[in-house]
Each structure stands twice: as structure tokens, then as C-alpha cells.
Chain A
Amino acid sequence: MDRVIRSRRAVWLALAFLVLCVTGAAFASRLWREPALTPAIRGEQVARKMGCFACHGAEGRGGIADPGARGGVVPGWDGPTVSSFAKDEQEIREWILDGAPRRVREAGAAKAPFIPMPAYRGLIGEQELSDLVAYFRAVSGGFAEIPEAAYEGRAIAGRVGCFGCHGPAGAGGCANPGSFKGHIPAWDGEEFLELVRDDAELREWILDGHPKRLWENPAAKHFLEKQTIQMPAYRPYLRDDEVAKLVAYIRWLRKKQP
């Protein structure tokens, strides 16, 4: 009788141990997993490696002084600034590869900048160039046709600071110790689907810092409370129409993903 009980207890213990190991390993693997490397994140690394930020400023947000240039600075990569330098993405590639697009070279510069844009032809690989342009696209907003509501959503995201943690165009990449994923989730890619089931949940994320579904799940709540960088609850700072525009922007971003 005792033996039977003992052996049953052993089985239970072994089973419990096994379950613990499996779930632990699963959690550990998730914790240690690197954020998915999207082209934009790889492009940011290319920009770092090639020295772009030395002149164009961190994240290409606006550059150092150039006493010889019109405007007196090396241009940033934000959309409004870019709009007087390049007609389309092809011209961005030409800026990177040749130091100026053909249109500008043919017109002949009336006044050359003191700090000329270097030509990276031969120094940058095809994949690197494509990644760098993807990153540039994220920072600048790119040349794509973007609907009115989505564009305004992008402007609001910039204004209230979303891109600070979520990266340019929500490309992700910022570490967040203690969180379930270990990093701040991107707005593109597959991870997003695990966290946001529908627009209602997306609004809850924005307004309350977490959706009701995850907050009511003890395990998820544990990670949400433990993460170092907490998603702020924007309820006091965003009007309904602004939230709708933000949602429109994120939906537009996701639609653009292949």
C-alpha cells in the first residue's frame, strides 16, 4: 500500500518536474530571444557602421553645422527636410552611392557644401544598401502614398514620443529588461499579432498601457508589471480622433509589410 503511494508520489513529482522544465525552458528561450531583425533594424546598424550619424546626427535626426551649406547644417532625414533634397527613393540611393543624385549633379551646384556627402559606391553591399534605405524610409516616412488619417497618425506618434521607444516608424529594437520579450515590441512583424488581436486592443494598449485581456491573465500581468520600461497610458493626452489616426497609421504600416 505504502509502496504504491510512494511510487505514485514519485510519478507525480517527476511529472511536475518535467512540466516545470518544459515551461521554464519555453519561457527562458523567449526571454533570451533576440528581437526579430527587420531590414530597418539592420539598416540602422549599417548607418552606424558607415558613420552616417556622425554628420546626420543620431537616428539621422538632423546634423552638425556645415558653414558652407545653404541652411548651415547637414540635413536631417526627417520627411519635411528630405522633401527638398530627393524626388523619390531612387534619388536617395544616388545620394548614398554617388554623393548626390544625377539631377543635382547635372544641374551643377551653384554653391557646394563645405562638408560634401561622401560617395559610398564600392563600400556598401547591395543588401546593406537595401537595409539602409529601409531604415531611412522608417525615419523619413519615405515617399510612399500615405492616406491622410495615417499621415496625421504618424505626426501624432512623433509628437507624443511613440518613436522614442518603438523606434522610427515603430520598427522596434529597443531593449526592455524584465519584459516577456526582453525588448519593446515593433509595430510591424509577427510579434505584434501576439500582443494585439484587434483595433480595440490596440486602443487599450495606447490609452491604458495594456489590454484588458493580458491584464486579466496572471502570467502576462506578471511580466507587464515587472518590465523596466512601462508602456505609458496615454488617456489624458490623446483625443479619440487622435487615437483613431494612430490606429490608422499602425494599420497602414502593417499593410505595407510583405
Chain B
Amino acid sequence: MAVVAAGAVGGLAANLLRSDAVAPSAPTGRPAAPVYRSPNHVCLSADGRLAYVVNHTSDTLSVLDIRGRKVVSEIAVGSRPVHAALSRDGAFLYVSCLYVGAISVVDLEKGRVVRTIATGDEPYGVTVSRDGRRLFVANSLSDTVSVIDAAAGTTLAEIPVARSPRDIAETPDGKLVVSNGLSRGMSVLDPAAGSELERRDLGRASLTRQVACTKDGRWAFVAGILSHDETPSLQMERGWIHSNGFSVADLTRPGHRVTLLLDRLLNGAANPWGLVLSTDEKRMYVSISGVHEIAIVDVAKCLQLVEETTPDLVKPMEEDVEILEKRGIARRFDAGGLGPRGIALSEATGELLVANYFSDSVTVLDAETGALRATIPLGPPQEMTLWRKGELLFNDARITYQTWFSCTSCHGEDATVDGLNWDLPNDGLGNAKSAKSLHDAYDTPPAMWSGVRVNMEAAIAAGQRFQGFLPVPENHKALVEYLGNPERAPNPYRTRNPEALQRGEAVFRAAGCDVCHPAPKFTDMKLHDLGFGTPDDYRSRFDTPSLRETLRGGPWLHDGRAPTLRSIFTDHNPKDLHGRTKGLSPQELDDLIAYLRSL
């Protein structure tokens, strides 16, 4: 009997790793039906009686009666809304719509969108200025923050920041603190002058999410992951791959920051996301999206710890996975739903509202005890499709040993990149590789820069082993379904400036790029030796990456040596082997980059 069982398991493992597994022929992306709501953010009405829930995948806004524990209406907004902010008079809600590149202005009285304000590309966090006259929008694809005149709807300034700004908080003296999702720093901006005052390094912070400031303008809090990239990805139980928490920055001291972890020994707090401060600033709430929990942080204890942390202790502190329990800075509770993201504090009722992305619900927690008081479903219950299960697992740290991280901790919730170089042991240690977008894995075998996985299925199975467990057949199927049908956001650069794209395509061909990167996959799926190998790589050839969605990748080349697309050609092609790009004029280079960004 035991022998039979062992045989069955062996057969299963073999199936999971079959090298001849066929890639899905026509990827469907996110299934058209059923439509889930996927609440991504929640905010309160001016009188505190209603909550507005931003439903990411149904392109709607659910209006909740907090005390009545029910949905009172649902309002259509632009495509893929992600975040929202209330106007100072409480009459309008500004909803950022990722796929549109615009803010949907919802008249809350009329219950519909009355205006659309153009922003930069893929707007995420939106904040209303203290005087209510300005909107600040983090354009996560343009890498800028827009300052918008709320009345006229015109852009007054677009301030360049680091990669992928996510969330904005305004200080009392009118500065902006911006979390940059794909860089390791936060930006401090002067919106009136239209300039970046400081880019503050946050050490190993990665995929930073929501940000908040104290009323005295001194302290800024940023939720995020700590990624120990560039070092061998080992000892996950000590938080050496990922640890999770928030950074505290004293805005009066340039460069100051202390990072505190919400992990516990043997129990990671994967992927902190939402972050709000109570009005009395005694408590801070952080949603931990990968483990479906909420942390209630004692702000006084936390600031005391921050003050004690002298510069030489900053690094040991950000590595201390026991600090939560040693100093009692926070308590963690079940969020009551799956994938908690945006949160809002209803002080009138003493409750925390949590938008649970995968449960299609808002849960109401006691803000003091963390106890679940109510679950408000945003629609009728719907069974999870295999794809949706895959999306959940991709975000879910419970499939990782001791819940230290999930797939998204390196690839983001859109299955692309975290902008870091990881030293995975599968191709030898000591040779970190740039994280690749997973959107192209399904039809461009082999996988990984060194081609060490024959195809996507083998890579997914290996990924699960890397996370500390053997692939579970059901999970494996769901992940294959999800990653085999990647959801690609619309590329706003595909239609912009067609003349430049045409010129860029001509340069692409003339330089011979199309030989190894032929359309439509923009890869020949072969290993090539273009002199990029280093002694640490143990090999000279690397898998040709697909150029689809190049704009979402980076840093570029196998070891991430090129921080910008331009530097691939200006700094990292000395022998003219990676395309014949020597002597390209600045104009030709611009055109080539415009073309690459449009793919």
C-alpha cells in the first residue's frame, strides 16, 4: 500500500515537472466572467457614516452604510480603479483609474462620475491638499507626481520622482511624502515649486505601499517589504530573503529612517500594504496583505524605539525579526478576509474597515481589540475560478514556509518585477540576476536568465519548492492557469507619437535587434553569448528575454547592470555585439527607446 502511494506521488512529481508540457495556446488574461469586485481601497465620507470602496476589477465604487453593515449603492467609475480621496467639502470622491490614466470625479450626491481629469500614466495614490484646491497624484508608470488644480482639472506641475510612485501624504507645511514602489527610497516634494527636495534612502525597503504623516509634520510612516536581494537567497526563516514591516522617517533630520519589522520569529508578516494613523496618533494600523492580517501598532512605543535607534543600530534593527515581541510595539489580528489591502479607521464607531481583495468583502474590526465585528459582502458570493485561485495563491504567503513572502514579494501584484537583482541558488550562488516579469514565461521557454528551468511549469514547480514546500497539485494547477494567462495592462505608449515609433522600429531592424528579438514574442528563445557573462556567472550564454512590456522591467540585462534602457546601448554594449548600436545619434537612440517602450 505504502509502495503504491509512493509510486503515485512519484508519478505526480514527474507530471509537474514534465519538460514537454504544452503552454496554453491562446492566453485569455483575466477571465471575463465572473466579475469579482476585488476591493483595493476604502475611505470614509465626511460625516463618517458611509464608506466608499474602490473595486479594482469591477470598475465600480461600492457605497457602504457603516452602521447598517450593508452596501447602499454601487457607482460605475473608470477602468481599474485603485485608490481614492475625498474632497475637503466631502462632495466629491477622486478615484484614480489605473488603466485610463485619469481621475474619475464622483459626485457623491448625484452618485455618478461627473468629470474625468487626465493624469500621468497609471495613476495610483491620490491625495487632496489641505486647502482642498490641489490634487496630488502618483503616476506609477510615468514615475512622476502630478499637481492638479482640482477646480480647473489642469495639471500645474508633473514632478519626476523615483520608480513607480504609489502613495502620497501631505505634511502640514505643504510638503509631499511619496512612497516609490520600485525603488528603495521615498521622495519628499515641494509641490508649489514643482521640485523634489529629497530622495530618502530606506535601506532594503522594497515594494513600499501606503504612507502617512503625523500632524506635527515630523514623522512619516511607510509600509513595505524588506528585500535582501544581491545576497544568497537562503535562510528564509531568519528573514534573510524577505522581512516585512514599515519605515519611520524623521522629516526634520535629512536621511533619517528606522525600519521596524512586523514579523515574528517563525512567522513572517508578508507584504504590508495599507497604513493609517488614528487621529490622536496613538495607534497606527497596517494591513498585511500576504498573511491576511492587521497589525495595530503602538505609536508611542514605536517612536521611543525609533529615538533609541542610533545610526549604527539602524541596520541591526531592520534585521531584528523579534522586535515586535521583544518590545511589544504591535499586535497582529486576523483581517477577517483574504488579501487585506486598503484600510480606513472609523473613529465614530471605533472600528477599522478593511478592503479584502480576494474575499470581495469589507470586514469591520474592533479598532481596540482587533476582534471581527462584521463582514460586509460587496456582492453575491461567487465561486473562485481556477485563475482567481491562482491570483490568490500568487499573493498568498501561506504557501510559503513560515509565511515570510509570497510570489508578489518579488514580482509585485501584477506579476512583473520588483526592480531588484536576486541571487537564487538555482544557477550557482554569487551571481544575482534581475527579476523578470512573469508575463512572458508561458510561451517563451526556457525560464530564468540562465535557462535553468525548461519551461514555465517547471519554473512554477521550482518556485514552490523555493518557497519551502513541494508543489501541491491543486495549487500548481491554479498557478499555471494564472501565469499561463497573464493579464497585461494596456500600454499607453503604443499609440503615442507614431512617427517616432516608426523611426524606432527602423533603427531596431537596422541594428539587427530583430534577429534575436523577432516579433511577435520578441525573443528567439535561445541562449546567446554577447560577452555579458562575468566570472561569477559560471556561464557565457543567457536566455534571450522577450521584449514585450520592456517598460515594466528593469533594471535591464541579466545582472541588472543597466539601470535605464538608454544605458543598455550607451554603457553596456562596448563591443557592439548586443545589436549594432555604436554611433546611434541621440535622436535614433530616443526613437529606439520609444519603440522598445511600446512593445
Footprint of B on A, CB under 8 Å? Answer: 69-72, 79-81, 83-87, 103-104, 107, 109-111, 148, 151-152, 155
Contact = CB atoms under 8 A, between A and B. Distances in A.
The 6 closest A-B pairs by CB, nearest first: A84-B512, A70-B580, A110-B510, A71-B576, A80-B577, A71-B580
Nearest to A80: B577
Contacts of A71: 576, 580, 582-583
A79 B576 CA distance: 13
Contact of A80 (B524, B529, B583): B529
B73 interface: no
B516 A84 contact: yes
B498 interface: no
Interface residues of B, number: 30
B580 A151 contact: no
Contacts of A103: 514
A84 B518 contact: no
A87 B583 contact: no
B580 A83 contact: no
Given A84-B579, A84-B580, A70 B510 contact: yes
Given A84-B513, A84-B516, 15 more contacts: A70-B510, A71-B576, A71-B580, A71-B582, A72-B582, A80-B530, A80-B531, A83-B515, A84-B512, A85-B515, A103-B514, A107-B514, A110-B506, A110-B507, A148-B539
A68 to B, nearest CB: 11
13 contacts: A69-B580, A71-B582, A72-B583, A83-B515, A84-B511, A84-B513, A84-B577, A84-B580, A87-B515, A104-B509, A107-B514, A148-B527, A151-B540
Interface in B370-414: none
A107 B513 CA distance: 13
Contacts of B530: 80, 83
A109 B506 CA distance: 8
A155 B577 contact: no
Interface of B is mostly: loop
B578 to A, nearest CB: 8
A83 B540 contact: no
Given A79-B529, A83-B530, A84-B579, A155 B540 contact: yes
Contacts of B515: 83-87
B488 interface: no
A103 B509 CA distance: 10
B541 interface: yes
A148 B580 CA distance: 26
Contacts of A107: 509, 514
Contacts of B88: none
A155 B506 CA distance: 33
A85 B509 contact: no
Contacts of B527: 148, 151
A167 B359 CA distance: 67
A79 B513 CA distance: 15
B496 interface: no
Contacts of B315: none
Interface in B242-284: none
A87 B524 contact: yes
Nearest to B513: A84
Nearest to B507: A110
Interface centre among A84, A152, A155 (most CB of B within 10 A): A84
Contacts of B576: 70-71
Interface in B551-599: 575-584
Interface string B320-355: 000000000000000000000000000000000000
A80 B531 CA distance: 8
